[in-house]
């Protein structure tokens, strides 16, 4: 499992005043709903203001993330599920989502929490979705990373 080496849980953060948009693809609803629930837990615990926007799939995450950040959001959390199939489609969508979200973060100077799961099979997604019995909670991790990064950027920009 990829969770080895993850940072240990650190002190809770106060994200009061942060506006976060959670953007989630609609493919593989059990896994994506688990990711959304994990992000919700992290954002609510930190006191961030947030809203959910659904998009058709992971390919659409970057353009909507850019629009949300340009409209004033302090951070976005991008959640998606891409499961390998028998064609190169997996590689194209995975690369487009990853490269696009990276570009959005760099172009806007605002954080994008990366919760796009790239999987060989559905079982790997269930194990990472933060569902009962899951080994990891990638939605929570992505939201936590986004708010912690937004707070670091706020501090740096305050001088």
Catalytic position from the list 2, 89, 92, 154: 89
Known active-site residue 28: no
Beta strands in the chain (DSSP E): 19-25, 49-55, 75-83, 112-119
| Complete edge-to-edge strand list for the sheet that includes strand 19-25 | 49-55, 19-25, 75-83, 112-119
- Taking residue 74's Cβ as centre, other Cβ atoms within 10 Å add up to 23
Active site residues: 89
């Amino acid at each position: 499992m990829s969770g080895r080496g993850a940072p240990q849980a650190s002190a809770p953060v106060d994200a009061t005043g942060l506006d976060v948009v959670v953007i989630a693809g609609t493919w593989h609803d059990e896994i994506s709903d688990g990711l959304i629930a994990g992000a919700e837990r992290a954002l609510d615990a930190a006191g961030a203001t947030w809203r959910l926007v659904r998009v058709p799939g992971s390919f659409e995450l970057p353009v909507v993330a850019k629009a949300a950040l340009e409209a004033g959001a302090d951070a976005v959390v991008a959640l998606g599920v891409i499961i390998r199939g028998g064609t190169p489609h997996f590689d194209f969508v995975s690369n487009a989502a990853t490269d696009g979200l990276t570009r959005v973060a760099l172009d806007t100077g605002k954080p994008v929490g990366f919760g796009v799961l790239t999987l060989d099979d559905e079982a790997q997604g269930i194990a990472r979705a933060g569902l009962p019995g899951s080994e990891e909670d990638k939605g929570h991790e992505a939201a936590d990373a986004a708010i912690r990064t937004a707070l670091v950027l706020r501090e740096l920009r305050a001088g």
